[in-house]
């Protein structure tokens, strides 16, 4: 036997390696707990009698480790689950809070999110009623309730708070906590969550409860479960769902416990694979949700030691029984990358429909009408012959949100999370489609390159206009909103561009001007994450919230240069900085931005900066690279071909259309074409606009932020006054799709303006797809409706198609003879195309109020 000793203890033996690794993790966790214990104990005066309940950090760790990994579990007989919980918690109840701070991450975030929802609801209803009820399921020591005081005044905000837990030891700690705090509205209930009913605590005191509620189990089972006192305004489950063996019955009981307009929040550990979510559109998004096969196996086995269940069904059933408002997945990297989720939900039946007999059709129909510009038909009228005629005549006039909602309702599933938002700005889309995932969670443009001042002058929007525009970075959408049109349809295939627009809209809806300026003027805010959770979250869709929760470092990390050096456009800014540093003209750029006159600016540009930036070597080897043009400036292959064709046409007096030149002919002139294009772009800008005073587009490129004297119109204090009004964005609809898809689903003859930026340049030259989109625009636009576009070509090849399909074309800006079409001057031309003829004789005429003449819909 002695001969076996060395081999067992050999460092190369796998068993020894596992033991060493496990011991190392345990020691590391012990050090973390010991180092952070002081910050986990509530700030109070500790008496001598309390030292046993708040021991030192190392002693706390020893008690936690013994109870979790060494102490035998009991309680499998007798009172079952309660005895099992006592077996686990009794030995560590006094050190529970001290040992869970680092392990149970994200609890403050969940509390902040549900508090934000309740505060938003109170502000919307403009009520000061404090008759709010909060039920904390599995509340343990009461840490959550005390922590909520960081977000709201618990005593004032809630009339009643119920901590429901099945462990007598933890409940005793909670009672001591609230006695110390002196909170009279908190009641600790040591009870099985399945049997907790508000009627037992919130009923009318003059009613004899023995008569009202003393019903037999059989009568309780078949009785209406609707809470007679209105239900709880807030239910929370903080790392408790995974500890409940019979979680199905508990979740079922919560559906009747929650008030119609109530909020439910949960945070817990989880393991889930991508396959589990393949066909679900109601989960609020799937960012970071996947846990690898090994991770699922390891974490389930590890937590099973403490009877913590991580099977996917717990979270799945919660999401099935309620509607998802917000959802986020994260990891506790400090303790081995443990996965956890934060989820905020509401009743599966939207609050606005609870008092109608036609749920859920009413809310679905209303949102569908707003997304498609169709006349709203109430569910009752929708059943009559006229409505059926509409359906037969124009089956395409249904949004994708409507299609998804009908599928879910037919399968008894919750509606997609977009239906449960406080604002219905964002239209449903399937975030798992390849056309959306191709962008890999990154936007291209952090700021918009279209000059809003010129757009305003050319379009002259009124309150009667219905506008469709490409989202880009959202700056242009906000500038249009300043004109208060009846509706704005913002469209972008890249979900992340729409996430950026959502962030801006949420910020104007909820933040004061100084915060707006820090986030979007300077591109940095040291308190961004807290603002996102406590102020912005109620005004965002789940997917947008998840995105920005994962990118808070953009605004507050010391290593980040801010918002305007993110996205694909950051590459162009970094190239400018690298060149200025390497070639030594950083000081000249600062001088250019500080110039007070055009003459001073021209002098600095011509003699000190232009020779560096406009170098032909730089143009040939860097800027003319197709990869750089796409990644940094968003210039696709087809658009590059258009500016190459213009250059060839100028040199050879041939056709300016790229489809009439060979690929070899176009590519051979690329270096010279790109260099000439740069010259025609930048030189006129320097000649006509003072960068540091009145050209925010180039200012943000050169210094990575705006200045108080030079910024887009939407960042003016007066703009904030207008855009922060309650109804400022009621007419906004954000579509994540191709323009063709959105226009196809719009009611004929309802748009008045379509701003397609340079998107037509992206079509293959001469392709039929461009003609199809133009025809769809013709169908969607009213007579005299306008399409506004910019192009890299002086005369885009597709203008002829517009003229063939019922439009009159007018070029309203061209870069010829050194002219500057706007302060950006990035495009060679700008066009307004006005619809003067309908190419589809069956498009119905519209009345003065804009409604569609239904009698004309017969096809």
With a pLDDT cut of 70, the percent of the chain lying above it is 75
Sheet holding 133-137, edge to edge: 186-190, 160-165, 133-137, 232-238, 258-269, 338-347, 322-332
- Tell me the C-alpha distance between 455 and 480, whole Å: 9
- Cis-peptide, bond into residue 818, ω within 30° of zero: no
pLDDT at 115: 97
Which pLDDT value is given to residue 368?
A: 74
- What does the alpha-carbon distance between residue 292 and residue 694 come to, in Å, rounded to a whole number? 52
3-state helix, strand, coil in the chain (%, to 5): 50, 15, 35
Of the candidates 671, 647, 686, 619, the residue with the CA atom closest to the CA atom of residue 793: 647
pLDDT of res. 30: 54
- Reported as a single tens digit per residue, the pLDDT across 774-792 is 999 999 999 999 999 999 8
Query: Is domain 102-348 classified as CATH 3.30.360.10?
Result: no
Q: Which residues pair with 258 in a beta bridge?
A: 232
Instruction: Tell me if the bond preceding 360 is cis, omega within 30° of 0.
Output: yes
Pairing mode of beta strands 781-791, 829-835: antiparallel
* 600-604 contacts at long range (C-beta below 8 A, 24 or more positions apart): 601/686, 601/690, 601/691, 602/686, 602/687
Counting every residue written for the chain, the total comes to 859
Q: What's the pLDDT score for residue 790?
A: 95
- Domain layout of the chain by residue ranges: 2-78+90-98, 102-348, 356-420, 570-703
Chain segment 267-300, per-residue pLDDT in tens: 999 898 877 777 788 898 888 888 888 888 888 8
The tens digit of pLDDT for each residue in 393-441 reads 444 477 888 888 888 888 889 999 999 999 989 999 998 889 998 888 8
Confidence at residue 658, expressed as pLDDT on a 0 to 100 scale: 80
Assign 803 a pLDDT band (cuts: 50, 70, 90).
Answer: very high
pLDDT at position 604 is 93
The model carries a pTM of: 0.84
Write out the H or E segment, with its range, that includes residue 133.
strand 133-137
Answer whether residue 732 shows pLDDT above 70. Answer: yes
Question: Rounded to whole angstroms, how far apart are CA atoms 245 and 193?
Answer: 12
Q: Shortest CA distance to 636 belongs to which of 444, 480, 769, 775?
A: 444
Tokens of 20: 């060493």
Nearest Cα residue to 532 out of 564, 514, 558, 556 = 556
**How far apart are the C-alpha atoms of 799 and 756, rounded to whole Å?**
13
Question: Would you say 498 and 736 are in contact if contact means Cβ atoms under 8 Å apart?
Answer: yes
Q: Listing from the earlier edge strand, what are the strands of the sheet with 829-835?
A: 732-735, 487-491, 466-470, 751-757, 781-791, 829-835, 807-814
Tens digits of per-residue pLDDT, 238-253?
999 988 888 999 999 9
Both structure tokens of 34: 């010991």
Beta bridge partners of 491: 470, 735
Q: What element of type H or E holds 218? A: helix 217-222
What are the residues whose beta carbons fall under 8 Å from the beta carbon of 451, sequence distance 6 or more?
697, 822, 823, 824
Give me the residues paired with residue 162 across strands.
135, 187
Read off the tokens for 56: 């030192």
Where do we find the tokens 């750029």?
589
> Which phi and psi angles does 148 have, rounded to 5°?
-60, -25
Distances (CA, A) of 758 to 340, 613, 791, 793: 42, 25, 5, 10
Banded pLDDT at 629 (limits 50, 70, 90): low
What pLDDT is attached to residue 544?
96
**Distance of alpha carbon 393 from alpha carbon 375, whole angstroms:** 14
* Helix, coil or strand: residue 151: coil
Give the mean pLDDT of 532-546: 96
Mean pLDDT, rounded, for 556-570? 89
State the pLDDT at residue 94. 47
Q: Please, which residues bridge with residue 323 across strands?
A: 346
Report the pLDDT value the prediction gives residue 517, as an integer from 0 to 100. 98
Q: Where are the alpha helices (DSSP H) in 471-517?
A: 475-481, 495-510, 513-516
What is residue 689's predicted lDDT score, i.e. its pLDDT? Answer: 94
| pLDDT confidence bin for 449, thresholds 50/70/90 | confident
Residue 216 CA to residue 693 CA, distance in Å, equals 78
The SS3 call for residue 591 is helix
pLDDT band at 570 (very low <50, low <70, confident <90, very high): confident
Confidence of residue 207 (pLDDT cuts 50, 70, 90): very low
Q: Return the percentage of the chain with pLDDT > 90, whole number.
A: 47
User: Running DSSP on this structure, what letter comes out for residue 852?
Assistant: B
Q: How far apart are CA 646 and CA 150, in angstroms?
A: 62
Q: Please tell me what DSSP assigns to residue 29.
A: H
Q: Which residues contact 745 (CB under 8 A, 6 or more apart)?
A: 371, 372, 396, 397, 398, 399, 400
More confident residue, 205 or 592: 592
| pLDDT of res. 41 | 40
What tokens were used for 190?
């040591």
Buried b (16+ CB within 10 A) or exposed e, 322-356: bbbbbbbbbebeeeeebbbbbbbbbbbbbbebeee
Residue 83 has pLDDT above 90, yes or no: no
Mean pLDDT of the region 571-575: 76
Q: Is residue 798 scored above 90 in pLDDT?
A: yes
**Average pLDDT, stretch 124-145?**
84
Encoded tokens for 317: 């059933």
Per-residue pLDDT tens over the stretch 370-385: 777 776 544 334 344 4
* Structural tokens at position 275: 């396959």
Name the phi and psi angles at 89, rounded to 5. Answer: -95, -25
Tell me the pLDDT band of 208, cut-offs 50, 70 and 90.
very low
Phi, psi of 53 (to 5 degrees): -90, -10
Question: What is the rounded distance in angstroms from the CA atom of residue 332 to the CA atom of residue 45?
Answer: 31
Angle between the N-to-C axes of helices 626-633 and 570-582, in degrees from 0 to 180, rounded to the nearest 10: 110
CB atoms within 10 A of CB 463: 9
Query: pLDDT of 821-855, one tens digit each?
Result: 999 999 999 999 999 999 874 444 443 333 334 33
Helices of type H across 563-669: 570-582, 586-594, 598-604, 610-613, 616-618, 626-633, 637-652, 663-668
Look-up: residue for tokens 């397609």?
756
Q: 205 and 120 in contact (C-beta within 8 Å)?
A: no
Contacts of 62 (CB under 8 A, 6+ apart): 30
Mean pLDDT to the nearest integer, 326-349: 89
With contact defined as beta carbons under 8 Å apart, do 855 and 794 qualify?
A: no
- Give the chain's largest Cα–Cα span: 100
Residue with token string 């910024």: 711
- In this structure, of 57-71, 126-140, 411-425, 600-614, the range with the lowest mean pLDDT score is 57-71
Q: How many CB atoms are located within 10 Å of the residue 748 CB?
A: 25
> Average pLDDT for residues 584-613, to the nearest whole number?
90
């Amino acid at each position: 036997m002695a001969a076996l000793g060395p081999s067992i203890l050999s460092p190369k033996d796998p068993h020894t390696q596992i033991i060493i690794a496990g011991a190392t993790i345990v020691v590391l966790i012990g050090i973390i707990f010991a180092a952070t214990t002081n910050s986990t104990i509530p700030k109070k005066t500790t008496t001598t009698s309390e030292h046993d309940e708040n021991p030192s950090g190392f002693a706390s760790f020893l008690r936690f480790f013994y109870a979790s990994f060494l102490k035998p579990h009991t309680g499998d007989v007798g009172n079952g689950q309660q005895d099992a919980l006592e077996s686990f918690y009794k030995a560590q109840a006094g050190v529970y809070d001290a040992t869970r701070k680092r392990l149970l991450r994200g609890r403050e975030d969940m509390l902040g999110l549900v508090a934000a929802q309740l505060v938003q609801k109170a502000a919307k209803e403009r009520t000061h009623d404090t008759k709010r009820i909060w039920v904390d399921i599995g509340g343990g020591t009461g840490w959550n309730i005390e922590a909520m005081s960081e977000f709201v005044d618990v005593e004032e905000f809630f009339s009643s708070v119920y901590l429901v837990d099945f462990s007598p030891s933890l409940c005793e700690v909670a009672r001591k906590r609230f006695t110390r705090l002196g909170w009279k509205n908190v009641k600790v209930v040591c009870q099985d969550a399945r049997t907790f009913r508000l009627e037992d605590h919130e009923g009318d005191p003059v009613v004899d409860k023995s008569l009202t509620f003393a019903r037999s189990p059989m009568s309780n089972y078949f009785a209406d479960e609707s809470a007679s006192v209105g239900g709880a305004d807030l239910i929370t489950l903080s790392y408790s769902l995974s500890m409940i063996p019979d979680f199905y019955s508990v979740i079922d009981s919560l559906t009747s416990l929650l008030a119609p307009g109530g909020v439910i929040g949960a945070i817990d550990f989880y393991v889930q694979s991508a396959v589990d979510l393949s066909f679900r559109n109601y989960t609020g998004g799937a960012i970071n949700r996947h846990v690898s096969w090994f991770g699922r196996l390891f974490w389930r086995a590890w937590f099973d030691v403490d009877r913590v269940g991580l099977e996917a069904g717990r979270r799945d059933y919660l999401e099935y029984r309620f509607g998802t408002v917000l959802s986020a997945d994260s990891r506790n990297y400090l303790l081995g990358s443990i996965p956890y989720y934060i989820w905020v939900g509401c009743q599966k039946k939207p609050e606005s429909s609870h008092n109608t007999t036609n749920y859920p059709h009413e809310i679905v129909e209303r949102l569908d009408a707003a997304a498609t510009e169709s006349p709203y038909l109430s569910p009752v009228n929708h059943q009559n012959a006229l409505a059926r005629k509409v359906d037969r005549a124009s089956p395409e006039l249904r949004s994708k949100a409507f299609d998804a909602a009908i599928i879910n309702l037919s399968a008894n599933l919750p509606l997609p999370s977009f239906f449960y938002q406080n604002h219905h700005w964002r239209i449903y889309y399937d975030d798992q489609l390849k056309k959306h995932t191709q962008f890999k969670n990154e936007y291209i443009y952090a700021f918009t390159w279209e000059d809003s001042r010129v757009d305003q002058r050319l379009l002259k929007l009124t309150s009667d206009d219905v506008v469709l525009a490409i989202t880009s970075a959202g700056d242009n959408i906000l500038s249009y909103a300043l004109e208060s049109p009846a509706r704005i349809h913002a469209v972008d295939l890249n979900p992340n561009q729409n996430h950026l627009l959502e962030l801006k809209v949420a910020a104007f809806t909820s933040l004061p001007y100084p915060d707006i300026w820090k986030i979007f003027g300077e591109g940095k805010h040291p308190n961004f994450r807290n603002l996102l959770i406590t102020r912005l979250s109620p005004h965002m869709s789940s997917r947008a919230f998840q995105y920005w929760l994962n990118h808070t470092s953009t605004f507050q990390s010391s290593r980040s240069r801010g918002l305007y050096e993110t996205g694909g456009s950051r590459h162009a800014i970094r190239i400018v900085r690298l060149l200025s540093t390497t070639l030594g003209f950083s000081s000249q750029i600062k001088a250019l931005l500080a110039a007070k006159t055009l003459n001073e600016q021209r002098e600095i540009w011509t003699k000190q900066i232009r020779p560096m930036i406009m170098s032909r070597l730089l143009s040939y080897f860097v800027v003319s690279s197709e990869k750089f043009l796409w990644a940094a400036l968003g210039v696709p292959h087809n658009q590059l071909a258009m500016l190459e064709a213009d250059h060839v046409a100028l040199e050879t007096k041939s056709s300016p259309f790229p489809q009439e030149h060979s690929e070899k002919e176009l590519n051979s002139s690329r270096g010279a074409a790109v260099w000439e294009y740069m010259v025609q772009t930048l030189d006129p800008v320097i000649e006509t606009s003072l960068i540091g005073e009145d050209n925010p587009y180039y200012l943000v490129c050169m210094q990575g932020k705006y200045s108080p004297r030079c910024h887009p119109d939407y960042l003016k204090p007066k703009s904030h006054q207008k855009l922060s009004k309650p109804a400022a964005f009621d007419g906004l609809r954000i579509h994540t799709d191709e323009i063709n898809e959105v226009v196809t689903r719009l009611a004929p003859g309802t748009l008045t303006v379509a701003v397609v930026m340079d998107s037509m340049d992206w079509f293959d030259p001469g392709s039929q797809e461009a003609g199809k989109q133009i025809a769809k625009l013709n169908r969607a636009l009213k007579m005299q409706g306008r399409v506004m576009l910019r192009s890299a070509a002086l005369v885009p090849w597709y203008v002829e198609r517009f003229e063939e399909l019922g439009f009159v074309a007018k070029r309203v800006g061209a870069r010829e003879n050194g002219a500057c079409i706007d302060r950006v001057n990035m495009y060679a031309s700008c066009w307004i195309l006005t619809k003067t003829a309908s190419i589809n004789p069956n498009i119905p005429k519209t009345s003065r109020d804009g409604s569609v003449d239904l009698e004309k819909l017969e096809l």
